[in-house]
Structure 1
Amino acid sequence: MNLLSLFSDKKFFKDTIKLAFPIALQNFILSSLNLFDNIIIGGLGEVAIASVGLANQMFFLLNLVLFGVVSGASIFTAQYWGKKDLKNIKRVLGICLITAIAVSSVFTIAALLFPKPIMSIFSNDPAVINMGANYLRIICLSYIVTAVSFAYAATLRSLGQVKAPMVVSIIALGINTVLNFTLVYGVAGVHGLGVYGSALGTLIARIIEFILMIFVVYKFKFPLAAKPKELLDLSMEFAKRFFKITIPVILNESFWALGVTIYSVVYAHMGTAIVASTNIVSTIDRLAMVVFLGFGNAAAIMIGQKIGQKDEKTAFLYAKRFIIMNPLLGVIVGLIIYLGAPSILFAYSVSPEVHNYSKSLLHILGIFLCIKVFNYTNVVGILRSGGDTKFCLLLDIGGMWLVGVPLVALAGLYFHMPIDKVYIFVFMEEIAKFFVGFPRIASKKWINNLVVH
């Protein structure tokens, strides 16, 4: 089959855009407003940028664990939706909510009781530790409501209902940005609260998002509008099947998050200016990835539904299309980042040192972005949609902990290399994952129907 025939299916592209665009738009707005928040905090100085960035590593860790939980749930939801099994979809949502609330409660308690020890993991700068700890005490109160919103939004997307979570998220994020600016700097003679105003604004916005999400689901009677009895109609056998697939995803995201945290620890010990520059670049990285988050999620939904319908041939065809299309788009976006780095950084009021660091890191990101996109599409969009979660676990952990983490730690802490050299080693894990993960697609071993019983 040549490329022309592979991409001649108009319905495929119509369905892809219908799913991918709202998800990409939601993530674009999220990343854009995170960028604006970053710029808002940037006006308070490099200590403020570093404090908020490192304190939010706690939420980053939680977010990735939650992503593991809802990703596992989404695998089942997409396949159950393929066979229109609403009863089991509600059960999946129920077990997803229970798990998400339990995990976020642990993170909340830890952040409330041990904010300074947590910040000390990431930095040895007393000013950063104190400011970050106070920020963490406020922002952690949003973790549980965020987990519930996340569970509903991800499950809705697996049903193909992508517009509702997008609209709710856009409203909440807009409120977040307005509140952050107002509370950080003050307005109409009211004194600003600095970084603590940002934490308070984010907390209020996430509570509003939670309320809106529940309201929309039940007001418009989406398939997820379940009674508590339906959500809790869980047998031990059902729970075992769910966690057999989901636990590898949770472990995958958790160990990956821990690895990224190790990167942050290495950066923190290289200096506050480097922490500021890596936080800036990570925000731009997330903004660049929004298109591929959309297409990756569309791939997971479309492939998962075809597997649930027992149409394995079409599922494999979709996989081939996505694994070619997404990295090609990655080359284009990477080129834009590389060439546009000076313009992208124009909005930041930072020292020349941080500016130069950030520009170098953006060049490296632009070069390696297409490989990162390939791996994201492969793991999240293709392999997981077929329930191949154990292989994904080994692939991600192997790439990060056998390649990325050792190289970055040695380069940054032992050999004391400059940040641009250290940052290149971060992407060596992506290179390793590419060579190991590519043959798995062709093998078709990842295609597993999880809802036939």
Structure 2
Amino acid sequence: MPYKNDEFISQLYRLSVPLTLQFLFTSSFSLLDTVMVADLGELQIAAAGIAGQLEFLLVMILAGALSGPAVFMAQYYGKRDYVSIKKLAALNVFSGFAISFIFYIVLTLSSPYVFWPFTQDDQLLEMTASFVSIVSFGFIASAVTTAFTMSLKSIGVVKAVMYMTVLSLLLNTVLNYALIYGHFGFEPMGVNGAAVATLISKLLLLILTVAYVYAMKREVSVSFLKRFPYDRVLFGRVYRVTKPIIIHESLWGLGTTMYIVAFGMMGAASIAIIQVSKVIGNFVLAGVLGFAQSASVMIGEQIGLRNKEQAQKYAERFTRIGVAAAVLIGLALFVAAPQVVGLFHIGEQLRGQAVNIVRIMSCVLTCSFLNNIWIVGVFRSGGDTHYSMKLVLGSTWLIGIPLAFIGAGIMKWPIEVVYGLFATEEISKTLFGYFRYRSRHWQHDLVSTEQ
């Protein structure tokens, strides 16, 4: 295929490189926390893992609530309708703040009981509650930041987001080093030092993001002094598309939390192993998340312009590139698994089990890549949210979770086998998602004035 003067390639490069880097840097927060906490012991890793899972649940709820308006913004951007974009940006900011504030209150009032499903170890419960009490306020800051950044990405502003994320990550790294082990004159705080470092870096990222949006007078700047720009017709259409996204992201986030509960039935050491393998997997998948976001913007813009044939061609090209990347990265991860796991300095037995899990992960990486590209980049950009909801919830709650609980709670199989059962979720999503991707039934023009 001739790539010279290819608009797809030039637009992909402009969007995907900063988006991919931004997601990699974002996932590095959890990776760095886990690496730097690893020397403290298995309980500390497990505490950070449980806290991280609760934040992940919030992230999934926010992804559901904020992705719907973002889909519309991408299509409105194709029409250059900035009035509607500003209304949707306001909806995102207020929704993000409200959801995270409610989550913060519920989490604060229910601690430490909310951690009981994960473990009955009193020491681990106390450690987790202390960690969450520090970092939880950062959930609100992170939610508002996410609302602004998702709006910015929908209109193709990605480099600024990447630069601000890098600055926040650098601060998090320095503070982790200083506060966990007591450098630069600070007292060593252990795992709580990681929580303080994460909180401060999230607050910095919020300040940088808000300052950029308003100083540069971006299209998504929201006036807090004027009346909320409520548009009943527009928000009603957004709600119809967003509702299944909220359901599927929230229940999928709850489903991944249930997996941690299942692994927790096997002991704190199992949670530590899963936390190590999870942060490795999240870092690897961060690249495809940026790639999928690029697909969402580019395909959504083509659908907004009513170029359905071009949208399908874009979907096919994203799929081919995704498969090639997944195969190469999967092979590299399989070979380098012992060295990657060795970064975390865990015990010999745990290290061997973690290596096995990372290798299982590498074998299904192609499925994980395709699922992210199709669900986030293709189906969602075309407003095909009801099918995405059924695909994700069916594979998670009818296949993956039952098998994981049978393996961990009833059969008492080794953790590698239980993780393999968990991986059947990704395989099943790929099998069913392929037929939807090929059918072209995922394309819906959400912003046409005739609708």
The reply to whether TM is greater than 0.5 is yes
CA deviations over 1:281-315 (Å, ceiling 9, x no partner) = 11110111122112111100000011111111111
Q: 2:287 aligns with which of 291, 297, 301?
A: 291
Taking the aligned partners of 1:385 and 1:250, their CA distance within structure 2 comes to: 15
Q: 1:207 aligns with which of 181, 186, 203?
A: 203
CA contact (8 A) 2:29 2:198 kept: no
Matches within 5 A, 1:36-435: 36-228=32-224, 232-435=228-431
Counterpart AA for 1:405: I
Taking the aligned partners of 2:447 and 2:348, their CA distance within structure 1 comes to: 56
Taking the aligned partners of 1:154 and 1:165, their CA distance within structure 2 comes to: 10
Taking the aligned partners of 2:63 and 2:296, their CA distance within structure 1 comes to: 14
- Structure 2, unmatched stretches of 5+, are none
Counterpart AA for 1:42: A
Task: Note the C-alpha offset of 1:236.
Answer: 2.2
Relative to structure 1, is the Cα distance of residues 362 and 313 closer, same or farther in structure 2, using a 3 angstrom cutoff?
A: same
CA contact (8 A) 1:90 1:230 kept: no
Task: Note the C-alpha offset of 1:8.
Answer: 7.2
CA deviations over 1:387-433 (Å, ceiling 9, x no partner) = 00000000000011111011111011110110111111111111211
Q: 1:438 aligns with which of 420, 434, 440?
A: 434
Taking the aligned partners of 2:29 and 2:101, their CA distance within structure 1 comes to: 26
CA deviations over 1:8-66 (Å, ceiling 9, x no partner) = 77221121121011111112222334322211111111111001111221111001111
Counterpart AA for 2:414: P
Relative to structure 1, is the Cα distance of residues 188 and 176 closer, same or farther in structure 2, using a 3 angstrom cutoff?
A: closer
Percent identity over the alignment? 32
Counterpart AA for 1:105: F
SS in 2 for 1:288: helix
SS in 2 for 1:379: helix
Counterpart AA for 2:439: S
CA contact (8 A) 2:292 2:372 kept: yes
Moved more, 281-290 or 225-234: 225-234
Taking the aligned partners of 2:27 and 2:94, their CA distance within structure 1 comes to: 28
Counterpart AA for 2:64: G
CA deviations over 1:113-170 (Å, ceiling 9, x no partner) = 1121111121111111000001111111111111110011111111111011111111
Taking the aligned partners of 1:143 and 1:160, their CA distance within structure 2 comes to: 25
- Structure 1, unmatched stretches of 5+, are none
Taking the aligned partners of 2:447 and 2:117, their CA distance within structure 1 comes to: 43
Relative to structure 1, is the Cα distance of residues 402 and 352 closer, same or farther in structure 2, using a 3 angstrom cutoff?
A: same
CA contact (8 A) 1:94 1:231 kept: no
Counterpart AA for 2:130: N
CA contact (8 A) 1:38 1:49 kept: yes
Moved more, 220-229 or 168-177: 220-229
TM-score by length of 1: 0.96
Moved more, 299-308 or 22-31: 22-31
- 2:28 aligned with 1:32: yes
Relative to structure 1, is the Cα distance of residues 316 and 363 closer, same or farther in structure 2, using a 3 angstrom cutoff?
A: same
Moved more, 154-163 or 28-37: 28-37
Taking the aligned partners of 1:383 and 1:9, their CA distance within structure 2 comes to: 28
SS in 1 for 2:187: coil
Kindly report the root-mean-square deviation, in angstroms, between the aligned alpha carbons of the 2 structures.
1.4
CA deviations over 1:91-126 (Å, ceiling 9, x no partner) = 111111121111101110022111211111211111
Task: Note the C-alpha offset of 1:333.
Answer: 0.6
Taking the aligned partners of 1:166 and 1:324, their CA distance within structure 2 comes to: 26
Moved more, 135-144 or 390-399: 135-144
Taking the aligned partners of 2:347 and 2:37, their CA distance within structure 1 comes to: 14
Query: How many residue pairs end up in the alignment?
Result: 449
CA contact (8 A) 1:91 1:230 kept: no
CA contact (8 A) 2:319 2:370 kept: yes
Taking the aligned partners of 2:106 and 2:151, their CA distance within structure 1 comes to: 28
Taking the aligned partners of 1:382 and 1:429, their CA distance within structure 2 comes to: 19
CA deviations over 1:318-339 (Å, ceiling 9, x no partner) = 0111122202211111111101
Runs of 4+ off more than 6 Å: none
